[in-house]
């Protein structure tokens, strides 16, 4: 097993001089496996274009698509064109497109097709000459997880993983990284045998979101919040990732995976780690990941999972005035499926800072609206020098990081209602990205693809984090598997009654964002 340093030098987050310099990738190319998939069309190809449009890719950048379709380079270019027109964030510019499209190549083949991998090697060599990509290539595995080992092995056997003469080779792996601890460990072993640690980029696209990175700025660039960010002041934390959409055309991926594996194992536990971790000594990969890892190792589950977890599956219902089918009626789902589309879980973080402060995580599809937020709910003031009627409508103070949509931060506190009597009611103070900043936020995948090309790892979870997250979740999933079908909730509502009951038992309620 080879081990490279995890820390490429010159991290622009650290060096103040670097901050004014644009971060532009050097000569390189990107190979996408699974280029015909949804993720590639909706996110990856538009992100590549947006990066090019922002001048952050080298002029000779190359994009290679690898898939089974019988396409020529022009067919591939046409598909990228359509995806860019439909999904890119920045305006379509002919000059950008023309320059980028000259570096498009398509390689047709299966993942076990040796001839195709040989062709890929030749294509890359041709690009090194024609586009000056200098041997620097990243391989993006946007494929079903069962193919990860296969592709990684093929890259090794066809000499594609080896870098020569100062060039680099990197591998980017989409989630889900395994489906439990054992499979994640096995996958890590396979990947580690082929690529050095510093060349493996595991994607959790939530870490690429501006609002998620802002958790670090909010906590560690200000004096205001950190003194009260602990068990002395915080009653509990609610982390919600709610979607109004159903599974769309993703039955093949989603069934058998479910909400907990799809979202809690990665996005929500990463949000928890950023919310709960201690201040890292720097924002370099090693320091940041070490603090996240410490928190994940301190996460414990309640003894009785029946009381402190909930799962559900959407039934038919109304959403945005449209009648939508239930999960079991979705195309490609069998009637006997027991996959959950809603999951909620209480965890505790056994550290001095968080002792006694529950973290409630919930996620679901076909919920009331699309919203992701982290709500830090504070304890009530220990004493209220008012008449009891004056504070009847006063809730607890809250600080809410609005991850999406409507990105920003809200602080909720009590304020006097204008009038002759002392009456206190909740009000909110808001920071909204749209009002404070003129530039729109880059898409998560823009940031993450750029970081891969720059070799900048802080925003990619390390394998220990992935394994710890499975270690947290495995007992919950195993427990649920003994219970049969999940409870049904109507589409457009906020999940099954058991989720509300779970919080009510602790004397709390979920926020209705």
Closest distance of CB 464 from ligand BG6, Å: 21
Least spacing, CB of residue 334 vs ligand BG6, in Å: 19
CA neighbor of 495 nearest in space, from 374, 375, 367? 367
- In the complex with ligand BG6, the residue whose CB is nearer, 160 or 491, is 491
Confirm or reject binding of residue 243 to ligand BG6 (CB under 6 A): yes
**Residue closer to ligand BG6 (CB basis): 292 or 365:** 365
Q: Binding to ligand BG6 by residue 446, rule CB under 6 A?
A: no
Residue written as tokens 């860019």? 84
Nearer CB in complex with ligand BG6: 261/462:
261
- Evaluate whether 288 touches 458 at the Cβ level (below 8 Å): yes
213: left (phi over 0), alpha (psi -120 to 50) or beta: alpha
Residue 322, H or E segment: strand 322-324
Cβ pair 449, 48 in contact under 8 A: yes
Residue with smaller CB distance to ligand BG6, 357 or 409: 409
Do 360 and 504 form a contact (C-beta atoms < 8 A)? Answer: no
**Maximum CA extent, the chain:** 84
Count of residues that bind ligand BG6 according to CB under 6 A: 3
CB of 114 closer than 8 Å to CB of 151: no
Instruction: Quote the least distance from Cβ 363 to ligand BG6, whole Å.
Output: 9
CB of 50 to ligand BG6, least distance (A): 15
Pattern of binders to ligand BG6 over 324-363, x per CB under 6 A?
A: ----------------------------------------
Structural contact between residues 398 and 411, judged by C-beta atoms closer than 8 angstroms = yes
In the bound state with ligand BG6, the residue whose beta carbon lies nearer, of 134 and 441, is 441
The residue annotated as part of the active site, out of 267, 308, 383, 479, is 267
Q: Which residue is nearest to ligand BG6 (CB)?
A: 262
Q: Which long-range contacts (CB under 8 A, 24 or more apart) does 223-229 make?
A: 225/399, 226/279, 228/378, 229/353, 229/376
* β-strand pairing of 342-349 with 169-173: unpaired
CA angle (382 as vertex; 380, 383 as ends), nearest 5: 110
Task: Report d(CA 506, CA 323) in Å as an integer.
Answer: 35
Positions in 357-386 near ligand BG6 (CB under 6 A): 372
Given the complex with ligand BG6, which of 47 and 101 has the nearer CB atom?
47
Are the C-beta atoms of 177 and 135 separated by less than 8 Å?
no
> Based on CB atoms, which residue is closest to ligand BG6, 293 or 372?
372
> Under rule CB under 6 A, which residues in 104-143 are in contact with ligand BG6?
none
- Among 262, 330, 373, 467, the residue binding ligand BG6 under the rule CB under 6 A is 262
455-474: b (≥16 Cβ within 10 Å) or e:
bbbbbbbbbebbbbbbebbb
| Nearest residue to 308 via CA among 358, 246, 234 | 358
Comparison of 210 and 456: residue with beta carbon closer to ligand BG6: 210
Q: Does 291 bind ligand BG6 (CB under 6 A)?
A: no
CB of 407 to ligand BG6, least distance (A): 12
Q: In this structure, are residues 390 and 422 in contact, taking their beta carbons and an 8 Å threshold? A: yes
Clarify whether 267 is annotated catalytic: yes
In DSSP notation, 221-257 reads S-SSSGGGSSTTTEEEEEEEEE-SS--TT-HHHHTTT
Least distance from ligand BG6 to the Cβ atom of residue 262, Å: 5
Residues annotated as part of the active site: 267
List residues binding ligand BG6 (CB under 6 A): 243, 262, 372
């Amino acid at each position: 097993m080879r081990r490279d340093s995890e820390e490429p030098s010159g991290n622009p987050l650290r060096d103040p001089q670097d901050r004014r310099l644009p971060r532009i990738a050097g000569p390189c190319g990107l190979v996408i496996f699974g280029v015909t998939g949804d993720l590639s069309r909706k996110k990856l190809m538009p992100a590549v274009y947006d990066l090019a449009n922002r001048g952050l890719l080298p002029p000779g950048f190359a994009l290679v698509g690898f898939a089974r379709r019988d396409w020529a380079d022009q067919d591939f270019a046409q598909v990228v064109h359509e995806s860019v027109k439909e999904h890119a964030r920045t305006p379509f510019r002919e000059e950008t497109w023309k320059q980028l499209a000259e570096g498009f190549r398509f390689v047709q083949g299966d993942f076990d097709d040796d001839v195709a991998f040989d062709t890929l090697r030749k294509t890359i060599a041709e690009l090194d000459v024609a586009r000056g990509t200098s041997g620097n290539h990243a391989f993006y595995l946007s494929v079903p997880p069962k193919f990860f080992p296969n592709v990684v092995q093929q890259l090794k056997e066809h000499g594609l993983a080896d870098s020569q003469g100062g060039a680099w080779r990197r591998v980017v792996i989409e989630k889900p990284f395994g489906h439990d601890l054992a499979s994640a460990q096995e996958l890590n072993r396979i990947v580690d045998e082929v690529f050095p640690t510093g060349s493996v980029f595991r994607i959790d696209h939530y870490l690429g979101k501006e609002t998620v990175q802002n958790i670090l700025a909010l906590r560690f660039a200000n004096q205001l919040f950190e003194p009260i960010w602990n068990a002395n002041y915080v009653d509990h934390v609610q982390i919600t990732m709610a979607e109004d959409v159903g599974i769309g055309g993703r039955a093949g991926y989603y069934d058998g995976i479910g909400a907990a594996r799809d979202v809690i194992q990665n996005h929500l536990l990463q949000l928890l780690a950023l919310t709960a971790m201690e201040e890292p000594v720097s924002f370099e990969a090693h320091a940041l990941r070490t603090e996240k890892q410490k928190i994940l190792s301190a996460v414990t589950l309640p003894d009785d999972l029946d009381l402190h977890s909930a799962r559900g599956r959407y039934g038919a219902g109304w959403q945005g005035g449209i009648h939508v089918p239930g999960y079991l009626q979705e195309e490609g789902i069998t009637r006997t499926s027991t996959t959950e589309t809603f999951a909620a879980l209480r965890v505790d973080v056994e550290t001095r800072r968080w002792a006694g402060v529950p973290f409630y995580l919930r996620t679901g599809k076909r919920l009331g609206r699309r919203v992701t937020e982290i709500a830090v709910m504070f304890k009530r003031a220990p004493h209220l020098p008012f008449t009891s009627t004056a504070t009847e409508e006063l809730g607890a103070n809250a600080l809410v990081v609005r991850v999406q949509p409507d990105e920003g931060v809200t602080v909720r506190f009590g304020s006097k209602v204008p009038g002759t009597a002392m009456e206190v009611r909740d009000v909110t103070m808001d920071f909204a990205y749209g009002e404070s900043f003129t530039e729109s936020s880059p898409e998560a995948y823009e940031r993450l693809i750029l970081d891969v090309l720059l070799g900048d790892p802080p925003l990619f979870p390390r394998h220990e984090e992935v394994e710890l997250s499975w270690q947290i979740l495995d007992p919950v999933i195993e427990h649920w598997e003994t219970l049969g079908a999940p409870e049904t909730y109507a589409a457009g509502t906020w999940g099954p009654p058991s989720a509300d009951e779970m919080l009510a038992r602790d004397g709390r309620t979920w926020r209705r964002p």
